[in-house]
Amino acid sequence: MSNKHSIRMSGLGGQGVVTAAHILGNAATKDGLVSTVNPFFGAEKRLAPAESYVRIDSESIHERGEVLYPDIIMIFHPHVITMGKCYTMPFFDGLQENGIILANSEEFPQLSEDELQKLAQLNAKLYYFSATQVALDVGGTELATNMAMLGGLLGVKQLVSSESLKDALTERFGGGKFVASGTTAALDDALKGKYEKITQLIDQNMEVMEAAKSAVKEFVI
């Protein structure tokens, strides 16, 4: 089985897209794989489009920057699709054959007949679940939506181990050496403020990821 994957994460500012990418990439490294992580956003403000790109491979990675041909696309907010709040149009541009799309939505966002036809030609697999609701129900805060999205991803594609995800999460919020941008650091602090102890943050967010795995549904084209 190939360990080569290119993931494009699209969402809105404040949803932790950059944090999710960093944790996923770090978890892959802890599993003995090679990874690169590249965030991309315009104005660093809430609800502005934000994207992050993660490459994972068992061999050296020479590509950098934007993922033009993802085999996995993660949609952190339905407005990425319904309102075009993303830097790539259409939102699935470049998706590889047999690729995966995972959307945070109670129902898979409505697509045009043309979009459905193109996705069918690619034999794409479409999945959805309310990551935000899982975050609220299990984690107690919508700031855990990005962790729910990572859990949902593992529910459809086991890219990394749960153990490595927990280690990466602990390193990110437990005083690791990661240097975040101003806004991302503020979001990290906001999430920490939702829990009395870092251990509680780690445990509840791992519970969020586990709950998300079983919450994912497939949208049949």
For residue range 18-72, list pLDDT tens digits in order: 999 999 999 999 999 999 999 886 555 566 888 999 999 999 998 888 999 999 9
pTM, entire model: 0.91
- pLDDT at position 179: 46
Give residues with Cβ within 8 angstroms of 63, minimum separation 6. 36, 55
Domain segments of the chain as ranges: 5-219
- pLDDT at position 91: 94
Could you list the mean pLDDT of each consecutive 10-residue stretch along the chain, which spans 221 residues?
Answer: 86 90 96 94 67 95 92 96 88 97 96 96 98 96 95 97 95 66 62 78 94 97 87
Class of domain 5-219: alpha beta
- CA-CA distances (angstroms) from residue 23 to 28, 38, 193? 9, 12, 19
- pLDDT at position 175: 65
Q: Rounded to whole angstroms, how far apart are CA atoms 184 and 13?
A: 9
